[in-house]
């Protein structure tokens, strides 16, 4: 390729994305402790390439922090949760359904940023590009909030209540909440939002918006779990995760449009 060609700057982020993600995939294949299934790693590779191509290293940093922290949180109190029958399937090892359940909304937001910055879609102003970036961060803040609240609540929640009735229920019940889990969820969303600010994807005020959006979305996810998930066989955990992160992204955009 002619390095002076106008196509070269456009192709560069994607070539870097291919190189980095392929290298990480090779390293992951050699590690004895697996965080994803084989197909899960392949889907994560595609997601990583896509995110870097759209958002560069800032967006990639956010998704990597989410993935690493979320994987670690899943293993909190694993022995206790396994004994109670409420641990994640495959001892927390994630598959492709988990990858896209967590990241589909974020990928769509990243695509919105890419299209807006490239000028391929008329009407996507810089303001909307910033909103899509905010939605990207909020979707992962929401997902880590949900994961952290659920896993910490199942492992360390002293008292768990059904969110719709506040009736005491066993830990691990769909729609159950606990004080310990709720506080942990807020910390999880704060971590992702802070990373989003540090890498320049959102403003300081965006941190607060992400916290509010993640809190709203996480609690609405619990309501869905308490009211609909057991009633609708097609409403899987992965689909609920997509709904959850979409609520987080839409909520933060609405908040930003209304208050900033």
pLDDT in tens, 144-192: 999 999 999 888 888 999 999 999 998 888 899 999 999 999 999 999 9
Task: Tell me, yes or no, whether 65 lies in a domain.
Answer: yes
Asked if 150 and 71 touch (Cβ cutoff 8 Å), the reply is: no
The string of pLDDT tens digits covering residues 188-216 is 999 999 999 999 999 999 999 999 999 99
The string of pLDDT tens digits covering residues 7-56 is 446 788 899 999 999 999 999 988 888 888 999 999 999 999 999 999 99
Q: Which domain holds residue 102?
A: 7-259
pLDDT score, position 81 = 65
For residue 83, how far is the Cα from the chain centroid?
27
pLDDT score, position 1 = 31
pLDDT score, position 5 = 44
Task: Tell me, yes or no, whether 86 lies in a domain.
Answer: yes
- Alpha carbons 258 and 28: distance in angstroms, whole number: 43
Task: Tell me, yes or no, whether 239 lies in a domain.
Answer: yes
- How long, in residues, is the chain? 260
- Alpha carbons 192 and 73: distance in angstroms, whole number: 14
Task: Tell me, yes or no, whether 1 lies in a domain.
Answer: no
Q: Which of 120, 131, 108 is nearest to 258 (CA)?
A: 131
Q: Which of 235, 225, 244, 239 is nearest to 174 (CA)?
A: 225
Task: Tell me, yes or no, whether 60 lies in a domain.
Answer: yes
pTM exceeds 0.85, yes or no: yes
Our count of domains for the chain comes to 1
Task: Tell me, yes or no, whether 2 lies in a domain.
Answer: no
Asked if 206 and 189 touch (Cβ cutoff 8 Å), the reply is: no
Residue 157, both tokens: 């929640």
Task: Tell me, yes or no, whether 132 lies in a domain.
Answer: yes
How many other C-beta atoms lie within 10 A of the C-beta of residue 187?
13
> What percent of the chain is modeled with pLDDT above 70?
89
- Alpha carbons 102 and 155: distance in angstroms, whole number: 21
Task: Tell me, yes or no, whether 85 lies in a domain.
Answer: yes
């Amino acid at each position: 390729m002619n390095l002076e060609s106008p196509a070269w700057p456009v192709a560069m982020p994607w070539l870097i994305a291919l190189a980095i993600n392929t290298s990480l995939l090779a390293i992951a294949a050699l590690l004895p402790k697996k965080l994803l299934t084989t197909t899960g790693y392949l889907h994560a590779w595609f997601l990583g390439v896509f995110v870097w191509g759209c958002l560069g290293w800032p967006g990639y940093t956010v998704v990597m922090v989410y993935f690493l922290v979320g994987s670690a949180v899943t293993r909190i109190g694993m022995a206790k949760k396994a004994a109670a029958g409420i641990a994640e399937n495959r001892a927390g090892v994630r598959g492709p359904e988990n990858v896209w359940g967590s990241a589909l909304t974020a990928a769509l937001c990243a695509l919105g940023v890419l299209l807006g910055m490239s000028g391929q879609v008329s009407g996507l102003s810089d303001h909307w590009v910033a909103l899509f970036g905010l939605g990207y961060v909020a979707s992962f803040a929401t997902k880590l909030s949900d994961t952290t609240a659920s896993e910490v609540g199942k492992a360390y929640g002293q008292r768990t209540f059904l969110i719709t009735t506040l009736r005491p229920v066993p830990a691990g019940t769909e729609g159950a909440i606990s004080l310990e889990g709720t506080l942990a969820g807020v910390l999880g969303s704060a971590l992702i939002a802070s990373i989003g600010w540090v890498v320049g994807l959102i403003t300081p005020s965006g941190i607060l918006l992400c916290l509010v959006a993640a809190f709203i979305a996480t609690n609405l996810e619990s309501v869905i779990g308490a009211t609909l998930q057991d009633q609708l066989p097609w409403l899987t955990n992965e689909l609920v995760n997509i709904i959850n992160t979409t609520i987080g992204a839409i909520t933060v955009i609405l908040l930003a449009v209304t208050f900033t």
